[in-house]
Amino acid sequence: MAATNIGFNPTFTPEKQVASLEAYLLDFDRDIYGQQVSLEFVSRIRDEWKFTTVEALIEKIHEDVNKTRELLGK
């Protein structure tokens, strides 16, 4: 299970024109770099926002992860 972001990273690179996908795997601590994974989207939590501070972004990510846990029953 994962909380996933698809977007342009406007807080750090507002000029970026190519979207990226980042998945935060819940309760997972193995090294899987270079491995193939698949994702299935269950629900959309929110739109992409530009944050004024890194701290505000981190706080919102924590909220998003908690919401993901609620949605997935974890």
Supply the pTM of this predicted model. Answer: 0.82
- pLDDT one-digit tens code per residue, 14-30: 787 889 999 999 999 99
Closest CA to 50 of 12, 24, 16, 22: 12
Q: Looking at residue 18, what is its pLDDT?
A: 87
| Of 4-8, 60-64, 70-74, minimum mean pLDDT range | 70-74
The Cα–Cα gap between 66 and 30 comes to 21
Q: What is the dihedral of CA 38, 43, 46, 47, to 10 degrees?
A: 60
Backbone angles phi, psi at 55, to 5 degrees: -60, -40
Q: Looking at residue 9, what is its pLDDT?
A: 87
Question: What domains can you pick out in the chain, each with its CATH number?
Answer: 2-72 (2.40.30.30)
Residues paired with 7 in a beta bridge:
20
Q: Looking at residue 71, what is its pLDDT?
A: 94
- pLDDT one-digit tens code per residue, 28-50: 999 999 999 999 999 999 999 99
